[in-house]
Structure 1
Amino acid sequence: MSDLTRLTLKAALDGLKAKSFSSEEITKAFVANIDAANPRLNAYVVQTTDKAVAMARASDARIAKGEGGALEGAPLGIKDLFCTDCVQTTAGSNMLRGFVPPYESTVTANLWRDGAVMLGKLNMDE
């Protein structure tokens, strides 16, 4: 696959199921793009590279066993609006800078249950 970051979500999920590439490969491709573009774009307020790679490896193990959820192995950016356990959440506010929730929002808990991989927290600004 030439550019994994250009795939639609459906194409990425299909490729993961077909084992055309691994979750770790597609996750690392996205991480490389984020590293290259984020200084200019400021799209991510928090990158969770180590967490993403660990989640991707766990997804690859579930895929290898024929298990996994509807989003298994798909790397996603999470809007900074949603609380994520042990990852800073500011909702775009300086007042909340440094807030690290000790719990997971229902939205993100459902994403992780279904096998999604967290690349980081997306900026709330336009």
Structure 2
Amino acid sequence: MGTWGSGNFDSDTAADHLAELTDRLLDEVVAAMAGDPVELEPDEYWGVAVPCNLELLCLLARQGHVGVALPAPETVAEWKTTFLAIWDATIDGLEPKPDYRVARRAVLVETFDRLAAEAALE
């Protein structure tokens, strides 16, 4: 195995580990996006966890370490469309405060857009 520096992620083994980690995050998003749309509603597990996974992928990608692979920007755009359609259709049923609704939606849009931008850099 090759080592190219003294950092925690400066070896083939570390890159393999990081690839496994990012693959897991992506696999979870892929499964959630292909699964029952109810599971993506704002008060459901994947309605919260998908944006968390996307945020983690953005953070990892920004580090520039070998081993991080992102989906195509077009895939992220499809996920965004699907996710936001479900969010928009269901959020009002939870009776959120208007400011929260606007702010949370803006965060969701920005999260998907950042991941798409990071993916476009690959």
Q: What TM-score do you get using the length of structure 1 for normalisation?
A: 0.31
Structure with a larger share of its residues in helix? 2
Higher strand proportion (structure 1 or 2): 1
TM-score, length-normalised on structure 2? 0.31
Structure having the higher Rg: 2
